[in-house]
């Protein structure tokens, strides 16, 4: 997919803003590290390099539009005082997500159901490959996995497989503090990318 002129302009605007901020002061707050003049941030367990010159993935290439936007916004929205609110919320519970809730279900939760019904072990393996671990929460689901798209924005994947009475179901939750690090559009992108990475 070719990148639209609107994205290119928006992306360049983000990079210009990044060039005006002190990366060093944000590294610890965001769970990143500084190497020379770049911030290195982990996204689903892979290191990406960010500077005013652009973003590169571990192979040195420019990542997809979705990843680029999420990383830029995560860096730019960095709160002055880190939020410690770790209560789990569904996407629909966040402010200003109403127009995107249907899309979140259709591009995140439902595709995971379709891809992994009757494949619970495959889903567990796919989560583990992305760095997911069982957080040991006392919840009534067959599979509970905590993954870290970004250091301060973990997600909780809850999955019940199909049985004789009910179809499979999936819920993807964010910590309440996620809204301080990403806007509703970026949280939706994280959900879509989670589905893409699990499927692949």
Average pLDDT estimate for 139-161: 97
70 in a domain, yes or no?
Answer: yes
Do both 94 and 190 map to the same domain?
A: yes
- Residue 188's pLDDT is 98
Do both 107 and 164 map to the same domain?
A: yes
Model confidence at 8, pLDDT cuts 50, 70, 90, reads confident
Do both 37 and 133 map to the same domain?
A: no
- Residue 3's pLDDT is 61
Q: Is the pLDDT of residue 4 over 80?
A: no
178 in a domain, yes or no?
Answer: yes
Lowest mean pLDDT among 4-13, 114-123, 177-186, 187-196: 4-13
- Residue 155's pLDDT is 98
Residue where a domain stops, chosen among 76, 101, 130: 76
Do both 100 and 175 map to the same domain?
A: yes
- Structural domain including 53 reads 5-76
Do both 106 and 61 map to the same domain?
A: no
Do both 142 and 166 map to the same domain?
A: yes
46 in a domain, yes or no?
Answer: yes
Average pLDDT estimate for 6-34: 94
- Residue 108's pLDDT is 98
162 contact partners, CB below 8 Å, separation of at least 6:
117, 118, 168
Model confidence at 7, pLDDT cuts 50, 70, 90, reads confident
Do both 94 and 173 map to the same domain?
A: yes
Average pLDDT estimate for 191-195: 98
- Residue 92's pLDDT is 97
- Residue 2's pLDDT is 53
Residue where a domain stops, chosen among 21, 45, 76: 76
Do both 59 and 22 map to the same domain?
A: yes
* pTM confidence score: 0.94
Do both 116 and 149 map to the same domain?
A: yes
- Residue 1's pLDDT is 46
pLDDT tens-digit readout, 82-121 = 888 899 999 999 999 999 999 999 999 999 999 999 999 9
Do both 66 and 104 map to the same domain?
A: no
């Amino acid at each position: 997919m070719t990148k639209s002129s609107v994205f290119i302009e928006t992306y360049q605007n983000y990079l210009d803003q990044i060039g005006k901020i002190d990366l060093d002061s944000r590294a610890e707050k965001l769970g990143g590290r500084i190497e020379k003049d770049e911030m290195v941030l982990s996204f689903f367990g892979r290191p990406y390099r960010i500077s005013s010159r652009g973003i590169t993935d571990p192979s040195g290439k420019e990542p997809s539009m979705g990843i680029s936007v999420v990383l830029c916004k995560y860096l730019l929205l960095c709160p002055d005082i880190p939020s410690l609110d770790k209560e789990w919320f569904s996407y629909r519970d966040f402010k200003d997500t109403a127009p995107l809730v249907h899309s979140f279900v259709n591009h995140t939760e439902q595709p995971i159901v379709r891809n992994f019904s009757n494949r619970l072990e495959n889903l567990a393996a796919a989560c583990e490959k992305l760095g997911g671990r069982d957080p040991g929460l006392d919840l009534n689901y067959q599979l509970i996995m905590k993954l870290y798209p970004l250091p301060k924005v973990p997600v909780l994947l809850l999955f019940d497989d199909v049985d004789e009475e009910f179809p499979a179901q999936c819920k993807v939750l964010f910590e309440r503090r996620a809204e301080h690090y990403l806007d509703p559009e970026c949280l939706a992108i994280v959900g879509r990318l989670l589905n893409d990475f699990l499927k692949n």
